[in-house]
């Protein structure tokens, strides 16, 4: 899709808003008011569609807008019956191994972590084996953070663990070594988004980010949105 200025984006949003019900548009605005990029979730090599879909559904429900998907060896797939359309409302960032190889040092993971750090995210690995703080001890006020979750069978790769800035673990009191990946995400994201919302942190999207997301939601909700948008630009140029 073509790059547009902030002013043109606002005009396009206003135009497209005429093609959705008023109550739906108001719902978009209400949900956007609680969306955040202060916390983001990173999934490394998740291969079970049910788990992947449950994670997306949880993140949507808790207001986390961005999900970063690392595909070193496993292709990330979604089960629509579990997802319930959640992926439609999220911004998914994919990092894929183009040659399809699997190695001991997954460079795709390194690329994703590097980009997150360039965006000033604290990269936080979730692992029951790492010497990190407990979930309720994690300090959300020290800056925005990206939570890394690993594959269902073996957890995060050694490279992901060694590249992380911090570590966090969920308390466990039973015999089982770890939680299911979708449960881990739900527990962690629920607890930390609650902390963020109860703090004085400005966790909201910027005005420009809200408009960018709102435009994508409108495009995804309107039949023949590409055609309608093309007509809008034709009239804009002609006028």
Query: Residue 186 corresponds to which tokens in the numbers above?
Result: 């739900």
> Partners of 149 in the beta sheet?
43
Nearest Cα to Cα of residue 137 among 160, 186, 187, 171: 171
State the chain's maximal CA–CA distance in angstroms: 70
Q: How far apart are CA 201 and CA 39, in angstroms?
A: 12
Strands 122-126 and 166-169 turn out to be: parallel
pLDDT tens digits for range 190-206: 999 999 999 999 999 99
Q: Which fold has domain 36-203?
A: Alpha/beta knot (3.40.1280)
Whole-number pLDDT of residue 2: 60
pLDDT tens digits for range 1-19: 567 899 999 999 999 999 9
Nearest Cα to Cα of residue 69 among 47, 89, 88: 47
Where, residue-wise, is CATH 3.40.1280.10 in the chain? 36-203
Write down the pTM of the prediction: 0.91
């Amino acid at each position: 899709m073509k790059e547009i200025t902030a002013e043109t984006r606002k005009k396009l949003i206003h135009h497209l808003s005429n093609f959705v019900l008023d109550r739906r548009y108001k719902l978009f605005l209400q949900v956007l008011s609680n969306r955040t990029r202060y916390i983001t979730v990173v999934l490394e090599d998740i291969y079970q569609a049910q788990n992947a879909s449950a994670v997306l559904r949880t993140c949507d429900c808790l207001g986390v807008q961005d999900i970063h998907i690392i595909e070193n060896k496993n292709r990330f797939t979604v089960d629509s019956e579990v997802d319930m359309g959640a992926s439609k409302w999220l911004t998914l960032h994919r990092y894929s191994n183009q040659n399809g190889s699997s190695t001991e040092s997954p460079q795709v993971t390194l690329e994703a972590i590097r980009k997150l750090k360039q965006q000033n995210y604290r990269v936080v690995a979730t692992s029951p084996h790492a010497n990190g703080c407990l979930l309720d001890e994690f300090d959300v006020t020290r800056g925005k953070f990206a939570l890394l979750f690993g594959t269902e069978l073996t957890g995060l790769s050694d490279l992901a663990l060694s590249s992380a800035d911090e570590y966090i673990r969920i308390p466990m009191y039973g015999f089982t070594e770890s939680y299911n990946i979708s449960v881990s995400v739900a527990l962690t994201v629920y607890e930390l988004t609650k902390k963020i919302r109860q703090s004085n942190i400005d966790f909201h999207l910027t005005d420009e980010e809200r408009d960018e997301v709102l435009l994508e939601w409108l495009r995804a909700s309107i039949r023949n949105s590409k055609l309608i948008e093309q007509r809008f630009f034709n009239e804009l140029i002609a006028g």
